[in-house]
Amino acid sequence: MREIVVSGIRSTGNLHLGNYYGALRNFVKMQHENDCFFFIADLHSLTTHPDPKMLSVNVKSILAEYLAAGLDPEACSLFIQSDVPEVSELYLLLNMHAYIGELERTASFKDKVRKQPENVNAGLLTYPTLMAADIIIHKATKVPVGKDQEQHLEMTRRFARRFNTIYGVEYFPEPTSYNFGEESVKIPGLDGSGKMGKSEGNCIYLIDDEKTLRKKVMRAVTDEGPQTPNAPKSEPVENLFTIMKIVSSPDTLAYFEEKYNNCEIRYGDMKKQLAEDILKVTTPIRERIAEIKSNDAYLRKVIAQGAEKARESASKTIAEVKKIMGIHYF
């Protein structure tokens, strides 16, 4: 049986290698095995008061990048969140049964209050309710989420359960996390620690040109090299080998592993090879991004088609929810 899968795409910044291997490749596979709704979360981004012109530019860029990486608008529903007004309506209705105390206790809200005390708005507080509306409006059963979103998914289940209990129905399913298992890949950053992330500034972006990409890889943090045969690797060096394991051939990896274990490794040579192998992955995607971005007619068609599919699902849910809640009078 095909699962209903929903996933939101942030409408800020560009996609990087970590996004590609960590989620995007799985989305591409998933779209052929499930009924998938992938949306660009422009309403969520409004909590940070983005520049209106940049919001438009970012949405177009993200859309082109996802299409270039392999999302197929014929195989999945790909749409912009604000093009489905039923989501905002369900968000309003769910807020009637969401309580200030539980919203204030979420880790992400506390984090935002600490980081941006000058902009603690109601949209930030009710972010979990909007996320819940995004998911349950399509009666999703699976949601691919990162560790930082697990608490929000738990709240989505709580809101679905609460609605069912209050109105004495078994209407909303309780979605669970989509586990990629062995296929889940984490790409480390180039700065010697942690994962690759936009905010950390340690990314290789899918749109990076050849010169930029080579420069970034050559600047990657390493150490002074192994002093004894088969020495354990430091974290920065381990990170480079992790990326190589993912993007390079097994022979290439084995060659540099042997050089390291024999204390003969030259990190400059390793980085040059790594840059070559990353370019083999990103160059075709970068070229497709440029081609797709220049075709406004195609992008408009994709978004219109995706919104139509999403609204078909969402409008049915909203009509049934309002009936359950008694919001139908004549």
Q: Is the pLDDT of residue 107 over 80?
A: yes
* Token pair of 190 as six digits: 């180039």
Tell me the catalytic residues.
112, 195, 198
pLDDT given at position 307: 97
Gap between the Cα atoms of 182 and 190, Å rounded? 23
pLDDT given at position 308: 97
Over residues 192-229, the pLDDT tens digits come to 877 887 767 789 999 999 999 999 999 999 999 999 99
Over residues 157-189, the pLDDT tens digits come to 999 999 999 999 999 999 998 876 655 678 898
Task: State what percent of residues in the chain have pLDDT above 90.
Answer: 76
Q: Which domains does the chain have, with CATH numbers?
A: 4-185+296-325 (3.40.50.620), 210-290 (1.10.240.10)
Lowest mean pLDDT among 60-74, 79-93, 136-150, 284-298: 136-150
pLDDT given at position 141: 96
The one-character DSSP state at 192 is S
Rounded to the nearest 5 percent, the helix, strand and coil shares of the chain are 60, 10, 35
pLDDT given at position 146: 67
**Sheet hosting strand 142-143, strand order edge to edge:** 77-80, 35-41, 4-10, 142-143, 176-177
Mean pLDDT of 253-279: 96
> Is the C-alpha dihedral spanning 96, 102, 104, 109 positive or negative?
negative
Lowest mean pLDDT among 54-58, 84-88, 199-203, 228-232: 199-203
Q: How would residue 10 be classed by pLDDT, with cut points 50, 70 and 90?
A: confident
Q: Is the pLDDT of residue 254 over 70?
A: yes
Gap between the Cα atoms of 270 and 253, Å rounded? 9
The one-character DSSP state at 40 is E
pLDDT given at position 41: 93
| Token pair 């699976």: residue | 142
